[in-house]
Amino acid sequence: KEIPVKQKHLSLLLLLLSMLMIPTGSFAASPVRLFIKGSYVQGDVAPMIVKDRTLVPLRLISETLNYDVTWNGADRSVRIVQNDRAIDLKIGSTTAYGLQSGTKKKIAMDVAPIIVKDRTLVPLRFISENFGEKVDWDAKSRTVIIGEGYSPRTNPDALTLHFRNKTFNIEAKMYRGQTMIPAEDFAKAM
């Protein structure tokens, strides 16, 4: 039995309307920004939110916060050290081990470290707080704050660059999770 034309059109219309209700990438949340010890920082892999926890490239925070990092490829684990403190993490595991002044303790994490684009991403709050850093979240600007001196940007896409003893404010553009500075704007600022 053949379906009447009006019923086919109605079914097609309902299908199209239901497809419009499905969220797409164009409605994705704005990127997470990192403000660490007085400056905005950005790595080559954008921070990710997993289970309400911000994961960031380990290299970015280790260099910014002066942590020493040792990678063990055999068991896919990492040791992060600063002064007399250390944290041992394993990719895919929510169990970490903290070491302070010779005492080792097992610590549960909300989310496990992962590897994205050949970069190890770790839970920023967990790492920072275990090394004694103050961590905060500005939901309005989607900014993770470590340390003091934060004040929200009036224009979150503006960058402040320091070059040859001069300071420039330049409007940046986001492209595939990366911050891009138009060459023309950079040249004008020079």
- Which pLDDT belongs to residue 189? 62
CA distance 149 to 162: 18
Confidence bin at 10 (pLDDT 50/70/90) = low
CA distance 122 to 115: 9
Which residues partner with 121 through β-bridges?
Answer: 57, 114
For the segment 130-184, what is each residue's pLDDT rounded down to a tens digit?
A: 999 999 999 888 899 998 888 776 665 666 666 666 766 677 666 655 666 667 7
Threshold 0.85, pTM exceeds: no
Residue of 23 and 106 predicted with greater confidence: 106
For the segment 46-78, what is each residue's pLDDT rounded down to a tens digit?
A: 899 999 899 999 998 898 899 999 999 999 999
